[in-house]
Structure 1
């Protein structure tokens, strides 16, 4: 039996040459090589099939349990942060509007993802966090061409541009954009977005994936990006950054560390610039017959 016949698209595997450190799913097969997408992290890699090992069911359950615990811990920390922000907003609003009931309008979110499975996971988390999102799957190389039309159509206040990426040392050093799998497409997509909405406060952008060229993304106009230390980032990290911006009042400035501290990757995987919140409060609140 040859190596190719032992593997199928969608199989969960690890790489022997890397000590089986990262769980991947096979995205495509060609000859005796597989294109791999990280199951929990936004990393893309190519590997010879002879280097791949199927993940046993017991190890898979252990991995998923550990991954779920990490996500739930980050979610719990964000919820604590959210409740503190809500208390502050409610206090400020009640002081301003006295006894009048008020309402709050969260921003519109556009999430563009190069991975349909990650997109679904992110949308599920947005919903848990109470945010409505327009989610769209696009290949990374197609993102720059469709960004302007999507912005004009959806009119988002926050946009996430993400998918898969990787840095290859044999293609250049870490400052060479050509050494990255998809960073150039993310950079071009951010530039196209800024042609439509130049203001960093009118459109807040997160861009990047695992090992992405952080400096180029920030220079292109992203508010937040990955990956300062060229490490892998978790698939759900962009959602926590978006939620922090979405639930912070537009009257308040967001400290970068406050955004990063509840993510799964931290400051080595994520970074950004000071940004204004986007939540707006209004009054009076009119109850509908359904309420």
Structure 2
């Protein structure tokens, strides 16, 4: 079996549970891997890898798309309930059933260490109707770019993500050195908080697979991964940012609701009490004027 950069593989040592793409071949002969749908990076020797054929790939992709669509529809159901509540609050004094208010959803700055994941996330933001500015760069470069991007984009929500991994051989769960990119994520959060210190003036999500959750929250993130050091899905940051974007700023984002409608749940994601950033206004005239 020949293996090349770009091939899809699984690892025998982990019961072939995760689909990876080969991104590089190291000098020692090991292969660098990137999760196809999970924000995880890893490496493995040749003998641990199984190349996925087209039939198996199609089967796994179909299962993954089905799971994503189920999560998307659950999220949309929650959004419809929230919108109905908003409409009642804003127009309960009027006899007409036509919505009389307009919405200004929170703008997202999404910084991602993976270009393909960023494109996937941007497509989902578009489906959800969330305004977003995407920036692709190395995780270690984010701390140097975040201040200027915040000044340029003026977002309500900042997403700091990419790839990460916890390696027990490098240290315990509370040792920052045991994580591939958690220290870079945490420093990027700190730099962002120098620009916007208040937790409700800039809502921050930070982290990727197996990230150092506690350190990211201490650094100033409102939401982060990964409390149980598990893998998170590429789209999980989008659902958190979208929920914040579509929750009125006078309301608190319900942590339980925001986590149960993600692909990972509270093992992979967590956060603190946070207000929404949606602004509603009256009267509604011509939407094209907004």
User: Are the equivalent residues in 1 in contact too, given 2:90–2:100 (CA < 8 A)?
Assistant: no
Equivalent residue for 2:9?
Answer: 13
Is this contact kept in 1: 2:6–2:23, CA < 8 A? yes
Report the counterpart of residue 263 of structure 2 in structure 1: 264
Q: Output one character per residue of 1:179-223: Cα deviation in whole Å (capped at 9) or x when no partner.
A: 000000000000000010001101000000000000000000000
CA contact (8 A) 1:97 1:283 kept: no
| 1:288 CA displacement | 6.5
**Which of 50, 53, 66 is residue 50 of structure 2 equivalent to?**
53
Which stretches of structure 1, 4 residues or more, deviate above 4 A after TM superposition? 96-100, 288-291
* Structure-2-length-normalised TM-score: 0.95
Say whether the 8 Å CA contact 2:164–2:209 is kept in structure 1: yes
Once the two structures are superposed, what CA deviation does each residue of 1:68-124 show, in whole Å capped at 9, x if it has no partner?
Answer: 111011001001000000001111111367879321101111001111111111111
RMSD, matched Cα: 1.7
2:89 is the counterpart of 1:92: yes
| Residue pairs, 1:155-234, within 5 angstroms | 155-234=154-233
- How far apart in 1 are the matches of 2:233 and 2:87? 32
Gaps of 5+ in 2: none
- Whether the 8 Å contact between 1:225 and 1:271 is mirrored in structure 2 is yes
- 1:136-181 Cα deviation digits (max 9, x unpaired): 1111010111000100111110010000000001100111010000
Measured in 2, the distance between the counterparts of 1:288 and 1:152 equals: 28
Number of residue pairs aligned between Structure 1 and Structure 2: 287
1:278 is paired with a residue whose SS is coil
Structure 2 contact 37–234 (Cα < 8 Å) conserved: yes
Alignment partner of 1:266: what SS? coil
Q: Distance in 2 between matches of 1:173 and 1:289?
A: 55
Residue 144 of structure 2 corresponds to: 145
Q: Deviations over 1:42-91 (max 9, x none)?
A: 01101122322211111111111111111011001001000000001111
The correspondence of residues 268-287 of structure 1 with structure 2, limited to 5 A, is 268-287=267-286
When residues 96 and 10 of structure 1 are mapped into structure 2, their CA distance, relative to the original with a 3 A threshold, is farther
Which residue of 9, 28, 33 corresponds with 2:24?
28
Equivalent-residue separation in structure 1 for 2:192 and 2:121 (angstroms): 21
SS in 2 for 1:253: coil
Structure-2 residue corresponding to 1:71: 68
* Deviation of the 1:270 alpha carbon: 0.3
- Distance in structure 2 (CA, Å) of the matches to 1:111 and 1:159: 6
Deviation (angstroms), 1:267: 0.5
Query: What is the distance in 2 between the residues matched to 1:226 and 1:141?
Result: 18
Find the aligned partners of 2:78 and 2:18 in 1 and give their Cα distance: 30
Partner Cα distance (1:90, 1:290) in 2: 20
For 1:255, the equivalent position in structure 2 comes to 254
